[in-house]
Structure 1
Amino acid sequence: MVFLFAINPVSGGKAKTDWETGINNYFTNSSHDAELLYLDGKTDEDRLRQKLNQLKPDRVVAVGGDGTIKFVAEQLLGTTIPLGVLPAGSANGMARELGIPPDIEGSLNVLVDGVLKPTDVIAVNGDICLHLADIGLNAQLVKHYQQYNLRGKLGYLRGVVNVLQKRRLLRVEINLGDECISRAAFMIVLANARMYGTGAVINPDGDPFDGQFEVVIFRRLSFWEVLKLFWRYQPFDPKKIEILPATSITIATHRKAYFQIDGEYIGRITELKAEIRPGVLTLIVPE
């Protein structure tokens, strides 16, 4: 097989030298071939598409965090090429969700020996979400984290303190198709998975292969509960959140709300439209 590795050299603020060395060493005496493409954040879409047409790889691998996985997945939608993941980002939420080993050799073994599984994505406001998208408090934190180039858990803590000082309730109308509800909430998550990258479980029944997603409404939130988003103490108190299954949804907010998809801040919005797209992406997962 021919593997194309799309490497984000700045994902998670970490150099990818170890990953590059690990890939080259792994395939040196292998019957498979590996080609490396280094992303630059400027012409990646054209360069990746050109490489796909030239190389015609059997499998494409995203080397980075959730944002890198999302970018590569966008180029593979509508094709039959499977997507693999090397968890070289900071949080690696999707890799954790799929059970991809965090070490280099273990994750490379999955690429060769794993199974192919059709996976759902959520179409959100003309974009796609593989893992988690949200409006409100966490999206504001993602913006703060990226704006000030914060890193690590200490950086998250600084962001949490800053964002909590400015927190405001969102008043929203949620249309689930057969039901329309009004809520006041600090944040609303569209979850195609169970947990954030830190392992904090916010959606216990989440499954990226079940043909639906969950709408997680955080109606009450304290400083310590926000910390649980980033340090795995315990799951959230179910009395303070509401979880609604959905295949499509429209959310309207009374004021502009911070919005992020898969760890990338998008902007501020007053309307969100989302629907599930079942099995449109093939992922390589552990057997």
Structure 2
Amino acid sequence: MMEKRTFLFILNPISGLKKNKKSIEQIIHKEFQAHSTIDYQIQYTQFPGHARQLAREAAAQNVSVVVAVGGDGTMNEVASSLVGTGTVLGIIPRGSGNGYARSLKIPLKAKQAIRVLQYGQVKQVDVGKINEYYFFGVAGVGFDAYIGAQFQAFGLRGPLPYFYIGVREYFRYSYEGFTLKFNGQSLHVNPLLITVANTPQYGMNATIAPQAKVDDGILELCVLNPMSVFKAAMELHHLFDGTIEKVKAYRHFSVKEVEIEREYEKGVFHTDGEPRMGPRVLKISVLPQKIKVLVPGEKLKL
């Protein structure tokens, strides 16, 4: 007799554009009630950090799979509590960007993502750490972190508000100086942004590190120098077609550790798009294959 697997679905009621979370709950019930080898529960988050708490409790109870139903922020909370445990991370992407799910080839349609949960394969992947925080896709400082903070305060979700804020703030942004220490060298930059990538993209197919692999034990340090608005508009397509390396203002370095020191004082950084206030010095490292994730298997037809 096959041993039962236990699933906990953690739903963020405010992620993404679709506010009716009852529909996804109905899909989960429909797809899982017929599986005699799976026990499952569904819980909604009620406050920031609640997903982290629920996932931590589930891992302590040896739940087989904890599923983040939401965007990259929800995924980060859930996954942060599963690092180094035997509990597997599952994802049903429901956010605005879904960068981590896209990078792992997890379908954006709920029913297809559920098939990955039911019939996919478990893959051990790397985790990034920036001071005391984990990240799973990308982290960084500069314009993208600043925009993330503005977007969070804006209230409306989705790509259009994000694009609006990005264009508006491009004219206002004050470039900071940073010193990067990595691979035995020191580099001073005044960039548009610095991204440390474990996976290729931010989300919405915006690919900042096409060379990044989630299981190679390496992070990609990406530096994008300032450009005029006209030049940025001309080069924007490279971000979305995977050819960012053709942009002259772009550089990248493969690292296992990097230290980012701000020129003056503490400021904003982000982990998987979630803005945080951090100290002047950020220490970043990779933790090889420290989390298990359900991804599409070779035989899984979607």
* Alignment match, 2:10: 6
Identity across the alignment (%): 29
Task: In structure 2, give the amino acid aligned to 1:277.
Answer: L
* Alignment match, 1:128: 134
Question: 1:242 and 2:243 equivalent?
Answer: no
Task: In structure 1, give the amino acid aligned to 2:296.
Answer: P
Question: 1:280 and 2:290 equivalent?
Answer: yes
User: Mean alpha-carbon deviation: is it higher for 79-88 or for 222-231?
Assistant: 222-231
Q: Residue 76 of structure 1 aligns to a residue in which SS?
A: coil
Question: In the superposition, relative to structure 1, how do residues 22 and 169 fare at CA in structure 2: closer, same or farther (>3 Å)?
Answer: same
Question: In 1, distance between residues paired with 2:9 and 2:259?
Answer: 36
Question: In 1, distance between residues paired with 2:63 and 2:15?
Answer: 23
Question: 1:253 and 2:258 equivalent?
Answer: no
* Alignment match, 1:49: 56
Choose the corresponding residue for 1:219, options 197, 222, 225.
225
Question: In the superposition, relative to structure 1, how do residues 26 and 266 fare at CA in structure 2: closer, same or farther (>3 Å)?
Answer: same
Question: In the superposition, relative to structure 1, how do residues 126 and 151 fare at CA in structure 2: closer, same or farther (>3 Å)?
Answer: same
* Alignment match, 2:300: none
Contact 1:214/1:245, CA 8 A, preserved across alignment: yes
Question: In the superposition, relative to structure 1, how do residues 99 and 34 fare at CA in structure 2: closer, same or farther (>3 Å)?
Answer: same
Alignment of 1:1-287 (within 5 A): 1-15=5-19, 16-31=21-36, 32-41=38-47, 44=50, 45-54=52-61, 56-223=62-229, 225=232, 228=236, 232=240, 235-236=243-244, 237-256=246-265, 257-267=267-277, 269-287=279-297
How many residues matched?
Answer: 286
Q: Residue 200 of structure 2 aligns to a residue in which SS?
A: coil
Please report how far the alpha carbon of residue 231 of structure 1 lies from its aligned counterpart in structure 2 after TM superposition. Answer: 8.3
Superimposed CA distance per residue, residues 14-59 of structure 1 (whole angstroms, 9 cap, x where no aligned partner): 32222111101101212222211111125724444344445x3211
Question: In 2, distance between residues paired with 1:212 and 1:47?
Answer: 30
Question: In the superposition, relative to structure 1, how do residues 117 and 47 fare at CA in structure 2: closer, same or farther (>3 Å)?
Answer: closer
Please report how far the alpha carbon of residue 97 of structure 1 lies from its aligned counterpart in structure 2 after TM superposition. Answer: 0.5
Backbone CA RMSD of aligned residues = 2.2
Contact 2:262/2:281, CA 8 A, preserved across alignment: yes
Task: In structure 1, give the amino acid aligned to 2:253.
Answer: L
User: Mean alpha-carbon deviation: is it higher for 250-259 or for 130-139?
Assistant: 250-259
Question: In the superposition, relative to structure 1, how do residues 263 and 283 fare at CA in structure 2: closer, same or farther (>3 Å)?
Answer: same
Please report how far the alpha carbon of residue 116 of structure 1 lies from its aligned counterpart in structure 2 after TM superposition. Answer: 0.9
Contact 1:196/1:229, CA 8 A, preserved across alignment: no
Please report how far the alpha carbon of residue 3 of structure 1 lies from its aligned counterpart in structure 2 after TM superposition. Answer: 1.1
Question: In the superposition, relative to structure 1, how do residues 244 and 198 fare at CA in structure 2: closer, same or farther (>3 Å)?
Answer: same
Task: In structure 2, give the amino acid aligned to 1:122.
Answer: G
Contact 1:170/1:187, CA 8 A, preserved across alignment: no
Q: Residue 100 of structure 1 aligns to a residue in which SS?
A: coil
Question: In 2, distance between residues paired with 1:230 and 1:241?
Answer: 11
Contact 1:84/1:111, CA 8 A, preserved across alignment: yes
User: Mean alpha-carbon deviation: is it higher for 85-94 or for 263-272?
Assistant: 263-272
Question: In the superposition, relative to structure 1, how do residues 188 and 229 fare at CA in structure 2: closer, same or farther (>3 Å)?
Answer: farther
Q: Any gaps of 5 or more consecutive residues in structure 1? A: none
Superimposed CA distance per residue, residues 51-70 of structure 1 (whole angstroms, 9 cap, x where no aligned partner): 4445x321111111111111
Question: In 2, distance between residues paired with 1:171 and 1:262?
Answer: 22
